[in-house]
Amino acid sequence: MARHLEPEVLHGRLPPPPLANLSSSGGARGALPGGVLRLVLLERTTITAITVNDTVWDQMVLHSEVLEPLGPALEDIVAHMELREVSNLFEARVCIQYKYADGPWSTIAAGDIVLAGQTTADYHISAPFNDRSRLGRLHIRLVLQYHAKAGGAAGARADCSVTVACGPRCC
Domain-embedded: residue 1? no
* SS3 call for 163: strand
Q: Which residue has the higher pLDDT, 43 or 136?
A: 43
Q: What is the model's pLDDT at position 101?
A: 79
User: Per-residue pLDDT tens for 93-112?
Assistant: 999 999 987 889 999 999 99
CATH number, domain at 39? 2.60.120.660
Domain-embedded: residue 79? yes
Q: Which residue has the higher pLDDT, 89 or 22?
A: 89
**Inter-residue contact 112 to 99 (CB < 8 Å):** no
CA–CA distance, 10 with 54 (Å, rounded to integer):
47
Q: What is the mean pLDDT of residues 156-171?
A: 89
Q: What is the model's pLDDT at position 3?
A: 36
Domain-embedded: residue 144? yes
- For residue 90, give the DSSP letter: E
User: Please, what sign has the CA dihedral across residues 38, 43, 48, 50?
Assistant: negative
Domain-embedded: residue 21? yes
Q: How many domains does the chain have?
A: 1
Q: What is the model's pLDDT at position 21?
A: 34
**Inter-residue contact 65 to 25 (CB < 8 Å):** yes
Domain-embedded: residue 2? no
Q: What is the model's pLDDT at position 54?
A: 92
What is this structure's pTM?
Answer: 0.79
User: Per-residue pLDDT tens for 46-57?
Assistant: 999 999 999 999
Predicted confidence (pLDDT) at residue 5 exceeds the cutoff of 70: no
Domain hosting residue 137, numbered range? 7-168
**Inter-residue contact 71 to 138 (CB < 8 Å):** yes
Q: What is the model's pLDDT at position 154?
A: 93
Domain-embedded: residue 115? yes
Q: What is the model's pLDDT at position 100?
A: 85
